[in-house]
Structure 1
Amino acid sequence: MKTDDLPFLRSFFRAVTDQPIEFTGSDAGRYVPLYETPELAPHDPVKLLARPIQFALGQSVQLFSGFRGSGKSTELHRLRRALSAQGDYKVVLCDIEDYINLSQSVDIIDFLLAVAGAFGDALQKEGFLPNDPAREGYWERFAKLLTRTHISLPDLSTSGIKVALKSDPSFRDTLQKRMSGHLGALVEDVRAYVTGCVKRVKDKHGPNTEVVLLLDSMEHIRGTSTNATAVQDSVVNLFTSHSDKLHFDHLHVVYTIPPYLKVLYPNLGTLYSPGGVQVLPALKVRNNPKLRATAGEVFPPGLELLERLVSARGDWRRLLGPERETLDRLSLLSGGHLRDFLRLFSEIIRRADTLPVSPETVDAAIAQVRTEFLPIADADARWLHLIATTHGVALPEIKQLHDLARYLDTHLALYYRNGDEWYDVHPLVRDVVRRQVEETRLRAATAP
């Protein structure tokens, strides 16, 4: 390997490491404006999220969903930048994962506490509130609410409440049980706190100022092998049964949610008027299989966008060779899932011994990423094959929603939208699934 090849590979490897673009400093140069193309412009998530905020009178609430690695967090950062540039908006972006443990069931009590605490912390951090040390954050205020309602909890400092909420499951259980009879008081107190914060922001920055809260990472919630069903059920309950408690006067809110919520609860958007639900799909690299005239044909604009995306991170021609054949093969195998596309490149780079890399190196990288999806149980293969042939979720019965959530969460199944919405099995495992189904049928037919 040439002496200057290793620094090139190191830089390229770091650039394709998956992380949100926050539009601060040099990272903005890595962003490719996917939605400036005519084919995708009608589905620009930032425009669709911004409009209710801009048009609603004083307040709005929306749900934003996207699969892990689909670019959702980057689009939230872009939304914050776009609104902030207009001058009348003060936008805070909070990561709910900093406040609650997303491997455990979530209750409306600890969720409201986390939202209020995150909102107050972010306003202070961004400098949107007047610098008044006498003003309390929500953690101090919540301690006073406990006193007023005569609720005793383990002896914790104010900062201890925040830490224990995320890291101590027994504290959360105790909190939920002892606050269950005082949910109305908590809702009222959180809303009063939020309204007070918004008023102080307007007092400092002008009466026409609009305050926006973007709450990221809620779609990361997932349980372990022992509690996955309970965790998913708790999310459904939170955003459906308690939807009325997630609206706040004088505040625009965008909550991220897991993709399966939209499947489980038809017309979910009516609970979150006027914004409703926006789902960020995978980038289309093939045409909708449901459209017979162009079914399965390569979608050139999608391939061009992925070429621009990787070009913003490194010289793919130096890595793969000057021709587009290998690049387009990787684009199609990714299924348009941005994280998986970049993941293929990282595997190629770590195996590179010469430049451009050999076909065997590319094949080895593809095989490695494919094995990370495997093995697939026979029952899962049958369902995935049905998704691949019908291009719908093919949900047999509602009690199997948790399996569907797992497919979507692990990218075994991908969601697309261009006109109609449709689903497909990840191209890396589509043939594996088909062969596995054929083999199980053959075994069943020849079994004694």
Structure 2
Amino acid sequence: MALSDREYRKAFYQALNIQQGRSMSEEDEYERFYVPIYASPNGPAGPDLVAEIINAIDFTTGGSVQLLSGYRGAGKTTELMRLRRKLDPERYVPVYWDVEDYFNTELPIDEGTFLVGLAAGFVDNCEDAGLPQDKLRERLWDFLGRMNVNMEASAGPISAGWGQDGAIHTQVGVGPVALGLRATLRDDESFRAQVRKALESNRAVFRKEIHQFFTDVVADLPGERTPVFIVDSIDHYRGRADTFDQVRESVESLFSVYADELALPGMHVVYTVPIHANPPGWRGQRWPVLNVKVRERDGSDCAEGIELLREVLSRRAPERNLERLLGDQVDRVIRDSGGLFRDLFRLVAGLLLKEGALPVDVVEIESAENRERSNLDVGLSEEHLEILVDVQRTKYLRVPRERSALAWELQARGAMMCYRNGTVNWYGVHPLLEPLVADMNEQS
């Protein structure tokens, strides 16, 4: 029986919003929806970074550290999930951790707390990888004890410290790490102060102990497989308008000052970072995930990029019937997104929530465009717009040093986009902001 318009809208909407009440496994989601947008090395999405990351892992003896950078909504997490699938299961065991489950990404990163979070995040997520969580949890409390850090967790009292007999004495309350340390890392300032003191009082000892923890963890793992620790959502650290600079600087400081601590012994680590983060002196590989190119530098359509995103949407549309919703306006909506999956899905989801017959008419599309344009415009200052005017004119990002933070903020907000163009990337204004930028250009 054919779907009614409402049933079609509902099914399509749910396919665009899998994370809001996941109704299928990650495996099923991948099989049903994934489009190989990186199949062509010189295509509109660029080379296959996952293949290159795996090569870097395979070619490195011992362990490696790599950064995956990109715009929020460009598909980094999807590619990290693909990385988990493509790793050789006979040689590697992937462990995925989302830092946003532990930290407030509107606040600057506290380096010591983040390093403790690495240990807790690995332990909390190792069970999904079939690793011995209980024994690793004991290792975690031993580590905290050696650092003279005590905590009172919501799951029960947990404390560790040196006894008079020179041994470590640990008390652990009932419940998994996630119910205690996760809340403590996020909300307990006294705990963070203890960790900060431990790091600042003797950084060498702190580094030795955190590395000893991971060395012991690797030794506890069954078999001969090497862990690949995937640390996601550091790119979500952007702060609010008044804290953006502090947050950005804290991310760069973490990967510059504490690069040695972040290289965990006996395992490979992949960290996601914001596209605008550029840690001075970072020596490892850094892989950029950019938006899919839907337009050329001269403003004309990039037909290949538009076709890729049409396929992405079609995979999610009931019966792959995208035209039932958008009629002959599919390309227009794809152009509106600028090539960002997040913006594309949000635009289409907004249209699905409207009432009326299908396909939606142009007035409804204009209404959705205006809403998204307003969201992008919120908080933009005159200085922001001046930078966008220059980017629109030159297709380059060149700003005085005193305005560099404003330019980084524009990238974090998605108001400015970077496209691959052969050997040299070029910058553009988000398509929905172009009318505002054009108006300001005329006024100036």
State the match for 1:281 in structure 2: 290
Does residue 183 of structure 2 align to residue 163 of structure 1? yes
In the alignment, structure 2 segments of 5+ residues that lack a partner are 159-171
CA distance in structure 2 between the aligned counterparts of 1:367 and 1:162, rounded to whole angstroms: 39
Q: Name the count of aligned residue pairs.
A: 412
Does residue 325 of structure 2 align to residue 319 of structure 1? yes
What pairs up with 1:45-84 in 2 under 5 angstroms?
45-84=49-88
CA drift of 1:22 comes to 7.3
State the match for 2:168 in structure 1: none
CA distance in structure 2 between the aligned counterparts of 1:26 and 1:71, rounded to whole angstroms: 14
State the match for 1:405 in structure 2: 408
CA distance in structure 2 between the aligned counterparts of 1:18 and 1:387, rounded to whole angstroms: 35
Change (3 A) 1:75 1:152: closer
Change (3 A) 1:30 1:153: closer
Structure 1 window deviating more from structure 2 (408-417 vs 138-147): it is: 138-147
- 3-state DSSP of counterpart to 1:362: helix
TM-score, normalization by structure 2? 0.86
| Contact 1:117-1:137 within 8 A present in 2 as well | no
Does residue 308 of structure 2 align to residue 305 of structure 1? yes
State the match for 2:34 in structure 1: 31
Show CA shifts across 1:58-115 (max 9, x none): 211100011111110000000011004x421111111112222222221321111111
Change (3 A) 1:90 1:134: closer
Question: Structure 1 vs Structure 2: percent identity of aligned residues?
Answer: 29
CA distance in structure 1 between the aligned counterparts of 2:139 and 2:272, rounded to whole angstroms: 22
- 3-state DSSP of counterpart to 1:347: helix
Show CA shifts across 1:185-215 (max 9, x none): 22111111111211222xx223xx2221110
TM-score, normalization by structure 1? 0.85
| Contact 2:313-2:322 within 8 A present in 1 as well | yes
Does residue 333 of structure 2 align to residue 330 of structure 1? yes
In the alignment, structure 1 segments of 5+ residues that lack a partner are 290-294, 442-448
State the match for 2:120 in structure 1: 117
Does residue 374 of structure 2 align to residue 367 of structure 1? no
Show CA shifts across 1:342-374 (max 9, x none): 111112111241011222112211121111112
CA distance in structure 1 between the aligned counterparts of 2:137 and 2:18, rounded to whole angstroms: 37
Does residue 343 of structure 2 align to residue 340 of structure 1? yes
- 3-state DSSP of counterpart to 1:212: strand
Which residue, out of 169, 180, 200, partners 2:220? 200
CA distance in structure 2 between the aligned counterparts of 1:217 and 1:173, rounded to whole angstroms: 24
Q: Which amino acid is the alignment partner of residue 9 of structure 1?
A: R
Show CA shifts across 1:380-405 (max 9, x none): 111111112222222211x4333222
| Contact 2:97-2:232 within 8 A present in 1 as well | yes
Q: Which amino acid is the alignment partner of residue 248 of structure 2?
A: Q
State the match for 2:10 in structure 1: 10
CA distance in structure 2 between the aligned counterparts of 1:175 and 1:213, rounded to whole angstroms: 22
State the match for 2:237 in structure 1: 221
Change (3 A) 1:59 1:165: same
Higher helix proportion: 1
CA drift of 1:406 comes to 1.6
What is the RMSD computed on CA atoms of the aligned residues?
Answer: 2.4
Q: Which amino acid is the alignment partner of residue 223 of structure 2?
A: H
CA drift of 1:333 comes to 1.7
What pairs up with 1:134-173 in 2 under 5 angstroms?
136-147=137-148, 157=158, 159=177, 160-173=180-193
